[in-house]
Every structure is written in structure tokens, then in C-alpha cells.
Amino acid sequence: MAALEPLTEQSVQFMIKSLDRFDSFALMFHDTIIESQNDPLVELCQRLPTLFGRSTSLETQERAIQLLVSYILNPLNSRKVTHRLFHGLLEALRAPECLASGMAVRLVLLALLRMDGAPAKLKGLSAGEFIKPVIGLLDVANTKDILQEVVGKVLAFAKIGKRKHRDDDVVVDQDEMRAFFHAMIDSRPSLVPLVVILKEFVRLLPDKMYYENFTRPFVKFGNQARNVLNVLSIQHQEEYFPVIGYTLVASPSLWSLDKKSLQFLSPLGLSFAAVSEPPLDMIQYLIEQAHSRHTYQAILDITKGQFNNASGGLEDQLVAVMMLHITGSDEAALFPHWVRISSQFVTMGLSLFVSFRSVIEKICSALDKIPIENLAVGRNYLMWCVYQFIAVLPAGRTADFMVCRELFEKLYYDPEPIPIPDFSSSFDIAKLGPAYLWVYMMRRAKQDNVGVACNTPTCLKLLIEYILAAIDRAVSQPGFQSMHLKPEHAAVVNCFVSMPVLKDQVVASKMDYVDKMAYSLIDYTLDNSGGAYSSSQSVGSTLAPGGCSVYNVTKPLQMDWLDGVSIHIRTILANMLSSCFSRVITSFRDVPGSVFLAPAFWETVSRLMLYEESLNVILTLIGMKLPEMAKNNALFLLATNFELLAFRMPYLPINWKGNIVVMAMNMHKEFNNFQPTGSIQALVYMYQVIMRSIQSFNVEDFSTRNSHLSVPALYLPESEEITRLLLLTIFRLTSIVGLDQPMLQFLNNHLASVQEGLPHTWGHQILSTLPENVRTFYGMVPPPAKFDKKSISGLVEEFVRRLRAANTDQEVRRVFETLNGKPVLIYCVIWRQLVLNSESGDLAAANAVPFKGPHYTAVILEKQPLKMQMTALRFLMDYVIADIRQMVTVEQISRQCECLSLMVWKYHILPFDRVLLVTLLRHFGDDNSLVSVLCVHLFCKAPEFLARLAETVNLIPPVYWQAENYFDQVVAYHHKYPEYFQFNGNFDMNNPVAGTPSLLQTRYPLYFSNVILRCVPVFDVMVHRFIELPGCQQQFETVLELCGKIFSFHDRPVTFLWQTFHFYDNLLKDNLAIRRKLMKAVVGFKAEHYPPNFYFTAQYEAYLTATTPDATPSMPIDYFHHLLARLHTCMYSSHNSPPVYHTLDWRFHEYPNATTHALYTGCLELMSIPGGADGTVSGLVGCLSERMTAAAGHGEELAEQKFQQLQRWINSAGLFLSALPARYFRVLLNMLDVALWTPEMSEECDTDIVTILDLQRSLVSQSNSSIAFTCQLIQATILQNTVAHMLLLLGHFHQIIGSVSTLSQILLLLKLITPLLGKLTSDLDRLRAFVTDVLQAVTRVATRQPASTGSDQQIALLSEALFYILDTYPVDQNKELTSPFINGLPDGFHKRLRFLAQANGFKF
């Protein structure tokens, strides 16, 4: 038979015209015509295969198919003709010689989808028969186009069906479309990666309703996709709750929830199995936590100002949390939850994350499902929460607020009035919530002339009358002085401050009486120097530490009171501080000798900062006001603000840590070069704020790669100690977080930048603990010049000789005039005089002169700027250390240090905390490191220091918020041990000698602190230095024994010790004794001020206090059960958490919630128990094994519930393991090696790899579940960790991948690693190396593994995983890796793996 001439566009047009003429005959004589040999349709169908041959260009194919499609779709043409033409087109595509392109198949499929009634009216042609032969010919891009068309048509059917109420034709069309869809996604004929389908559905589905209409019927597809999802994602990841303040969401792809359909998609957005109930919990859990905004924003990937579909799921979760707590009956227990819910609700609304109207409508729907008798208590809290929201947003439309009427109709129809509460506590104030809301709504309606067709609820009659009466009293008596600090006062304040003002009300302006009330709350704690809203009461003054008078108001606004007022009131109070500061600044500029602010004012400010909505306002205000304070010489405000930030910030939110450091450092820089009179106290507390803020940084601060610790302005040459402290913090945290490529690049660039501005290096002991790249960097830095003691000593000795020879004041003055030219030697000269007088015995004589020229010394020190004083102190310590190194006896060394102590404690020339810090951080050279630590040891043993420490422990309570007389205790301490921040020329500053010249120095009151509390952050540095020098363990233990109680005042003892154990694990892992001593000192003394078992579990405390703890070889399994159960309960069942956690106000503690506290304290215990890493991991795994045994062998429904619980326990164990050092994770890697070489994985047999890798299936079938369990536990550990453990896993993978011998082993490794690759999105080199290793291993194994019944399944899963990796991560955009890889594989792999060459839009 002669070859047919290929079709062209012109020939197709000609033949279609012939068909048009033929149609008219077909309508009348179709039976005869169709059988005619002259039928042009027969010729066209015979020639259609030539359209897809090699000789036909793609453009010709497209145009020809468009002509054919338009003809087929034309409803005027004969149905039988178009039907036969369509069949001919299908036959052409199915022909074996046809080289159909993806475009051709796509166009034909689109023709089928767009035909009127197709495929329902194409008799004799099923969707499956057509699709199966051709769907596999599609490429990735065209598959996405077809899916979009399918989704669009089904959604259109859903809309029509909703309008027509079960129209029969629509139902038929939907059924046919479902059949089409089933055929399309059938993995056996199509070979299209399911990843493509999954991703497209997530992208295309608009909302929940369409999702249910479209995907619910496709359970089969869900089952097919499950195998792929088990490889690409972490099973039940929605149960892996994050931890506020620990979990690092640096990779949103690992945590992000689909923001369009939050309720029914898994955390990866890839779950399409039908879900009857939404997997709530995670976002609800976050909403209930304080300071969680940063975390849930990152998970949901929403930013300020996003609304509508972006956060509809967030509204649902918020309402679910409200419903969770609305049914309780314990008022005192419920109120803290509603305080947090109200704060979150207001924050979400202000950020436009949620819609008020939408939330209220969802609340009304949810209330229908709850019996009214269960709402007696919770309903008031709900209305209190709603009122706070609308009070903060008074500019909203009245119509939006009127939606609340339905709440009253559902909740308040009691026949009897609700009595007025007695206001004995803050939760009594919340009982007025419905009355507040009702009055607000009615006033807004009257103000805006909106008619409201509803009657006042009878049950609210008394409450509303109370509200209206309170408003009338507020207008006439805005002060309410007699009600200060009483809960009833808070109730009255809420009545009118946020209420709209009626036009007929006799009030000059709304802001006038709002301001009056706001000022009446705090005015009595101010300076009382007059002003518009000054209190009429007379407030006396008292003497504060520093010899200054302060107003004698010591009781701040109580937390019970602040909890009772609305968020709007607290925000007003926070904003009011601006005018307070301005008023006091002006007052002190005009009358410098005024009485200082009352302690109650500063304590009130600190308590306002505990509320998230007030904290940002106050910190922003302080940052803006600091320059104004300095400019107007209000340095007392500057000093006290920094003292406030240093000693009243128990938990510092992540977004403010760096801001505070930068803010304080900028002021510190200004004062470094020019020191205003009286600024030394402000500088001392600037230093405190900087040190404490730096040491508050934790691992979560490096999750976003934009840590404030990298700001170049922080690294000043004149602030060497701060620079070193910043760098050590960066080294410590980056080592814990993990050094991937971006972090390494950051470190190298940052170190180069700092080194350029401040050349420096480190001692050998410190360098040995730092990361390898840091050691390499400093290895190329030239060592600093050694201290030239000979020349410096010559200058000092010359000055000292001349002073000792001077007999008159004029001779002494001339010597000091010479010394004024070398001010850096001033401390050295004083110290040397003290040493010589001590050696000769003159220092001990009565009426002895310790050193000559005290007045001239004071003048020189006063004129020195801070940076010069610090330079002089560094010179002194270099000089002292070099001198002590030449000493022979202990008595000589002690004498040298005693002279330094005299300069600190007796003459107040040197600040003790600075002396310690310089001694600890100064690079004295490796030979002098032990000498410097020995000096620190002697400083800490000084009787003056120990006496002050004992008095501090005796008087000042670490739990300051529980002390009614905290300020009085501080005053009592300073009365016994007054502190002077600068030498004034008197040897005894407490009892100056008459006639002795002395400088009049400005002093400001101290409200919160003393020298002991200022030394707390320095002791952190001291602990690290002792650890780095193993030869000083005896001195270290002595210091911990003598001074350990100082850690009871530590703001963050658990975080500090966790970072210490983690970073110095290599030095401490074999020294269990020192770890126990650190636990006793750093945490144990703090724990004495808390209820039992708040910090330590009972079993660990028994071990810690045992007479012979070394006799305990390991902890019992019950200990691990209890530790895991505590964390699990805090996270998943907070109402069942340990009773000790229920009674605490977490706002005053190191961590914002019980979960974070339980995690970190548990990690400390695990790092300091006997048994080592193997014993610790074995204990945790043993607990999980018992849970697995309990979950195995049940039916599907029960197994699902038990598996969910098991996942939560795995998450708890994974959290612990993620926060432990690398040696603990290596134990998990050893478990992975065991799993890899089990017979199921290592032998070439018919392995059901799907069941083996699915923990739930393996538990149900009671098969070997250890492989999937190991995988799950490692994934949970890495998911909660940053990249540190991920880098260890990839390193281990690189070592073992060359020895794997089966595809099952490769699939296990891919299942383990693939879902976690999002942690390395910015480390393309490691990603590319990983992909290369995988491809090489697949090639090696595939070329030698014989075919088996399980090979098709393995190949399918392998292709899905590889396609997902290459399509998601840009590691092989040019196909340099995949093309040679595919060509080197056996034929059995080609059909599926050819899609690898189509990823990222590349056409195969």
C-alpha cells in the first residue's frame, strides 16, 4: 500500500470544508452516506497518524489540531461525524508509530474536556479507554495545564449544582468528570509523578467548600498518594508542635501550613485524604501561648495587613481556642487563659490577620454546638474578650459591631438579673464583660444614629446600671483617689475610658477626661511638681540608695489590677509615659534638685512591659526618649531606664533583643568620647543592659539569619570587652545552631569586618573550643605584641618614686601634672603605691596614707572619658598579671590581689564587675591564662565581696515580684554597704575627713540593684573560662561553693547552663562531677526560692543531693517516663500539667510558658545524669517502645487514635534529642545503621517497602516497625533542631551511601532525608552533593539488582522522590546530573525516570 501523504494545515482545512458539505447529507441520509467510499471522513481518519510523524513540525500540529478541535466542538455539526472524527484522532494518538508530543495530547484532552456534554454524550467511549493510552505521553508542563482544566470544570459543576439543587444533568457530568479524573491519576498507565498533581491541587484549590466538593469523592486517589506522601513528608507532622523560644522555623517549607485551607491540609499542604474533623491543635496550641506571634506568623507565612483568604483558617483556630475555654467552671483557672486569648485576638485584629465580623459569626455558629448550661462562667469571659477588641478599634463601622447582638441572644436570656460581682479579684472585673459590650454597642448606635431593634437583656439589668452610674461618676470625679489600687477602681476605669462620648454629655472633650483618668492612675508616683493632672494628695519623700530623695510611694499598680483593666487602658498608660518623661525632664531642667521619681512608678512601668501589647509601646518610647534625656541633662532618667531594662526584663521577646543592644550601644558610643557630668551611673547601667541583652540571646535568634549581633556598630574599638563578649556569644550560638554554608560565609565576613576595626586574637584555650573555620581564621591573624612590662614598669616606678619623695602638696601636684600626660597609667601608679606600702607595713599603720594625691587622682579620673578609663584598667590588669607571674609565694600573690580589692571596695576607684570582666576576657597570652584565672579566684574569695553577697542573699529576694517591700530591702542593703561609682578624693567616702578636699559628684537613686546583681552576667563569663582551663578545677569548685548563691539572682540560669553544657560538651562529657556542681550552683540555688520540683524532677533531685551520687550507674526507666510525660503533658494537655506550673505567673519567669521550661530543664537533667549518651537515648527510646507496643495490633480506627498519641510522644522525645549535643544524635545514627542492614532492607527479596516505611501500617500489621520508628524519631529530632543535626545526618549519609546494595535501603534514606531538605534551601552545594550521591547509588544498585515483584513499586517511589527533590530545589537546572544518570539506567527505569528531565519546565 502506498504511503499516505502527510497532513498539512491546508489539507486539513480543505478536508474539513469537504466534511461541512458532507454534513448536510449526513443529516438526511446519514446511514447511506457514512458507508460511502467517497466519505472524506474516512480519508481524513486514515491520514491523521501522519499529523504526528517526525516530518510534521510542532507549529503545524498545533494549528491542525486546533482546526480539528474547533470542528469537533461546533454544536452545529453532525454528532456522528464529529464522533467518528474524534475516534479517528484517538486511534492516531494510540498508533505505535505515532510520536505524539505532549502538546498534541494536551490539545486533544482539552478538546474532550470542553466538548458540550463530553465525555458523557460520547457513546461507546469511556474516559478510561481514551486516557490510559495517551496520558503517559504528557510532559510535566502540559500535565499541569490539564489538571487546571479539570479542576476548573469540576468547580464549575459544583457551583451549578449548588444553584440548581441536585440537577440530574449536573450530577451525570460530575460523575463523568470524576471518571475522567480517576483515569488521569491512575498511576499504572499514566506514570505522571503524583507530586505534580499534589502541588497543582494545593495551588488551584480556592477554599474549603470547593476542596470538599472536589476531593472528598477521590478516596482512591488519597490512598494512592499516601505511599508517595510517606516518602516526601513526615507522617502526622501536624502533631509535632513547635516550642516558643526554642523551635527554629528557619525553613518555612518544613513548618508552613497552607493558609487557604488550614483546617484540612497537613503541614506540608500535600494531604488529600478525606478528613472528617480538622487536625486542629497546633495553631490552637500556639494561640494559647504568650509571645507566640512570631512563631505562628512564620508557620502561616502571613505578614501584617494580610486578610481574607490568607487567614480564614487562623480565624477558625482562634474560635476553636475560645470554645475550648468557654465551658470551664473554675473562674480563677480560666481567667489567665482569657487574658492571653484577648491579647492574641487584639493583636491579630490590629495586624489585620483576622476579621472581627467573621470571627463573631464563627463564634455564633460554634456556640450552637455547646449546651447553654456549660456556658455560665465562660460566656462572661468571651464577652470581655470581644469588648477589649472593639475598644481598641473604635474607628470601625457600627454595623460591624452590631453583629454582636446575636451573641446576646444566644447567651443572655436568663429571667433573673446577674448580681454585681464583689470585685475581690481581677476575674471578677471580667464578669462585667457583657455589660461593657452592651453599653458600648448602644452608645455607638446612638452616636452614629443607627437604629437598634432589640431590648436590653433582663439578666444584664444590674450590671448595665452599674456601668452607667460609673460613667456618670467618672465624668464628675475623674481622679477617684480613694479607690486607687482597688479592683473596683479597675472596673470603673473600664466603664468609661473606652466608651463613646454622647453628644449631650457635658464634657469638654473625650480625650480630656480620658487623660485625667489615665494620669490619676500614675500621677501620684511622679515628682508632684504640678501640672494639669497632679494628684491633690501630699506624698512625702524618703532617702533612696545613692543618698537621693525619692517620693515615698513604694507600692506599684498591682498585677491583679492591671489584669483587670482592658488592653485599651494598658495601652493608654503605656503611651502616657511619653508625657510623663517629658514633664519630669522639664521639671529637673528647671529645678535640678527636685525629688526623684517614686519606686512605684518604675515598678509600674516594668509591670506594664509584661504585656505584649504594652511592651512594644514602652520600648519604642524609651528608645525615642533616650536622646532627649541626655540632651536635657536628665541623666537620672537615662540611668534608671537602663537599670529598668537590665533588671526587670525576665523574658525578652526575640524581636526586641537586638534592638535593645543597638539602642544601648549607640548611647554608650556617644558617652565613650564625651562623658557629661554625673553620667558614670548611666554608663554603668548601659553596660549592664548590653551584657545582659547579649547573654539573653538564644538559638532562636539565629533562625532568620539576620541576627542583630552582626550589626557593625556594635563592634567598637574602645569597647573591647563588649566586642569579645559579642563574638563569644556568636561562636557559641552558631556552633549550637549549625554551620551550614550561609552561616560559614556570615562568620567569615563578619570576623573580617570586626578584625579590621578592632584587631584581636584569642588564647589557645579559648580557640580550642571554637569552630574549625574560626580557628582557621584566627590562625592567619598575627599574634598581638606582648605586653612590654619592662618599659611600662619603668614609667610606673618613676612616677611612684617621685610621689614617695614628694613632701608637700605642691610637689605632689607637679607629679600629677606630669602624670596627666599619661592618664592610662593612673591606675598602675595607685596600685603600685598600695603594694609598696603594704610590703613595708605602712598600709596597716594608724592614720596611714594609702597613696599620695587622692584629690588630684579624683580630678584626673573625673576628666577621663569612659574609653580612657577602660584603657587604663586594661593597662593595670596587664601590669598586675605580669607582676604576679614573677611572684614566688602564695602570700605575695594574695597581697597583690588584696591591693586591687582595696581599690575596688575601700576607695571605690575601680568597679568590681569591670575588673572581673577585663581579667576574664583580656588576652594575656597562654602563659598568663592560669594566672588571670587565679586572680579571679582570689577576687571572689575577698571578704568584702563575700560579705556583700551574703547580705544581698539575706535581704534582696530573687522573686522580686512577690516581695511587698523590695525597695525597702534594697535601701537596707545600701545603708550597710553604700555604693559610689567614682572616687571623690576621700579615702573613707562614708566618713570624709574634715578639711580634706573632695569632688562633689552627682549621684542618682538605685531602685533595683547593687554591685552583686551587676556581677551576675560576669560570673557567666567566669564559668566558661574555668571550663576552658581544666587545670583550675579545684579553684572552680571553691568559687562555686563560696559564690554559687549569686546565681539565684540570674535572669536566665537554665538557658545559660544549657548553652554551656551544649557548647562545652567535649570538655564536660567525661566530667560528671563538675556538671553536678554547676547544676547545684546555677539552678539549685535559684530553685530554693520556688516550689518543689519546679526546676528539678523528684528523682533527679534525689540523685543530685545523694551522699554518693557516683554510686548510681544509670537512671531507672521510670525517670525517663516521668521526664517525657511532663513535657508531653505541658504541650498536649496543659490542664493536666504538674500542679506547680498552674500557680505560677509565667510572665515573670525565664520562659513564657510551661512547655519551654519543661524542655530546657529536662535537657539539663539529661545532660547531667549518669549513663552517658547511650544510656540517655536508650532510656528515651525504651519509653517510646512501650508506647509502640500499646499501639500495635489494633484495627484501623483505634490504631489511628493510638498512632496520633504515639506521634506526640515521639515529638516529645525528638524535642529533647534535638536540644542535646551531637554525641546524643550519633546514637540515633547508630540505630539507623542497624535499621539499614536488617534483612528486610539489605536482602534482595520481595519487600513490601510501603508497609516497612509506614509506621502506622507496620503497627497495624504487627510487622517489623523498628525501621519506620527509627526514621520517625530521627525526623522529629531534626525537624525541631536547626541545621546542626541535619549536617550530621548528611555527613553520615555520605559515608554509608557507597555501601548500600538495594533500592529498599536507598528508599529508606530518601524517606528519612527528603522531607528535611528544606533546612538546606540556601546551602545549594550540600544539596547538590546529596543529589549526586543518590544518583550514583541508584545507578550502581539498579544495574546489578535483578528484577523482582517489588521492583515496580520501588521504582515508582524512587522516581517520585527524585522528581520531588529536583523539581523543588534548584540543584540541576541544566540537567547536567540527571541526563547522564537516566541514560545509564536499565530500560525498566526509563519510562518513569524520564520525567526527571522535565522538572523545572525542561522538556524531555
Residue 355 has pLDDT above 70, yes or no: yes
Would you say 1220 and 1167 are in contact if contact means Cβ atoms under 8 Å apart? yes
* Higher pLDDT, residue 203 or 548: 548
985 pLDDT tier (thresholds 50, 70, 90): confident
305 pLDDT tier (thresholds 50, 70, 90): low
Would you say 595 and 519 are in contact if contact means Cβ atoms under 8 Å apart? no
Lowest mean pLDDT among 443-447, 662-666, 918-922: 443-447
Give pLDDT, residue 679: 73
Q: Which of 168, 150, 170 is nearest to 215 (CA)?
A: 150
* Higher pLDDT, residue 450 or 1324: 1324
Residue 494 has pLDDT above 70, yes or no: yes
* Higher pLDDT, residue 1071 or 1244: 1071
**Residue 1156: C-alpha distances to residues 217, 815, 1127, 1159 (Å):** 42, 61, 9, 5
Lowest mean pLDDT among 290-304, 377-391, 1086-1100, 1272-1286: 290-304
- Residue pLDDT, tens place only, 732-771: 988 998 888 888 888 888 898 888 888 888 988 899 999 9
Residue 511 has pLDDT above 60, yes or no: no
Residue 1055 has pLDDT above 50, yes or no: yes
Tell me how many degrees the CA angle 651-652-655 measures, rounded to the nearest 5. 145
Lowest mean pLDDT among 115-119, 781-785, 855-859, 866-870: 115-119
Residue 1093 has pLDDT above 80, yes or no: yes
**Residue 1077: C-alpha distances to residues 22, 464, 1168 (Å):** 100, 61, 10
Residue 307 has pLDDT above 70, yes or no: no
Q: How far apart are CA 222 and CA 229, in angstroms?
A: 10
* Higher pLDDT, residue 1177 or 1401: 1177
- Residue pLDDT, tens place only, 670-704: 777 666 556 788 888 888 988 888 888 887 776 55
Q: Which of 1244, 1225, 1010, 1219 is nearest to 1127 (CA)?
A: 1219
* Higher pLDDT, residue 116 or 594: 594
Give pLDDT, residue 265: 35
* Higher pLDDT, residue 1364 or 484: 1364
Q: Which of 1043, 1017, 1156 is nearest to 728 (CA)?
A: 1017
**CB neighbours of 685 closer than 8 A, spacing ≥ 6?**
639, 640, 642, 643, 646
Give pLDDT, residue 397: 65
Lowest mean pLDDT among 76-80, 932-936, 1102-1106: 76-80
Element (H, E) at 551: strand 548-551
Give pLDDT, residue 1403: 37
What average pLDDT score do residues 284-289 get? 84
279 pLDDT tier (thresholds 50, 70, 90): very low
* Higher pLDDT, residue 476 or 9: 9
Give pLDDT, residue 27: 52
16 pLDDT tier (thresholds 50, 70, 90): confident
Residue 529 has pLDDT above 90, yes or no: no
Q: How far apart are CA 704 and CA 297, in angstroms?
A: 13
- Residue pLDDT, tens place only, 182-217: 666 555 545 667 777 766 665 665 444 444 444 444
1041 pLDDT tier (thresholds 50, 70, 90): very high
Q: Which of 1395, 1377, 1398, 1400 is nearest to 1328 (CA)?
A: 1377
What average pLDDT score do residues 958-970 get? 89
Give pLDDT, residue 428: 85
Q: What is the amino acid identity at position 1173?
A: A
What average pLDDT score do residues 1026-1054 get? 92
- Residue pLDDT, tens place only, 998-1007: 566 677 888 9
The 3-class secondary structure across 36-74, one letter per residue, is CCCCHHHHHHHHHHHHHCCCCCHHHHHHHHHHHHHHHHC
32 pLDDT tier (thresholds 50, 70, 90): very low
Residue 1079 has pLDDT above 80, yes or no: yes
Give pLDDT, residue 946: 96
Tell me which range, 598-602, 967-971, 1138-1142, 1261-1265, is most confidently predicted by mean pLDDT. 967-971
Beta bridge partners of 548: 544
What average pLDDT score do residues 1087-1100 get? 92
Residue 1337 has pLDDT above 60, yes or no: yes
592 pLDDT tier (thresholds 50, 70, 90): low
The percent of residues above 90 in pLDDT, for the chain, comes to 21
Instruction: Return mean pLDDT, the chain.
Output: 78
Residue 1310 has pLDDT above 90, yes or no: yes
Residue 481 has pLDDT above 80, yes or no: no
Lowest mean pLDDT among 591-605, 635-649, 1331-1345: 591-605
Residue 1366 has pLDDT above 70, yes or no: yes
Would you say 1348 and 1303 are in contact if contact means Cβ atoms under 8 Å apart? no
Residue 1373 has pLDDT above 50, yes or no: yes
- Residue pLDDT, tens place only, 1156-1205: 999 999 999 999 999 999 999 999 999 999 888 877 766 666 667 788 88
Give pLDDT, residue 1062: 95
Give pLDDT, residue 1225: 96
Residue 1217 has pLDDT above 80, yes or no: yes
Give pLDDT, residue 328: 80
Cα 772 → chain centroid: 28
Q: How far apart are CA 231 and CA 1307, in angstroms?
A: 8
Q: How far apart are CA 1372 and CA 1369, in angstroms?
A: 8
Tell me which range, 99-103, 1017-1021, 1113-1117, 1332-1336, is most confidently predicted by mean pLDDT. 1017-1021
* Higher pLDDT, residue 207 or 926: 926
Measure the N-to-C terminal CA separation of the chain; round to a whole number of Å: 34
Residue 1386 has pLDDT above 80, yes or no: no
807 pLDDT tier (thresholds 50, 70, 90): confident
Residue 250 has pLDDT above 80, yes or no: no
Residue 952 has pLDDT above 90, yes or no: yes
Give pLDDT, residue 1348: 46
Mapped onto helix, strand or coil, the DSSP state of residue 126 is: coil
What average pLDDT score do residues 1030-1057 get? 92
Residue 165 has pLDDT above 60, yes or no: no
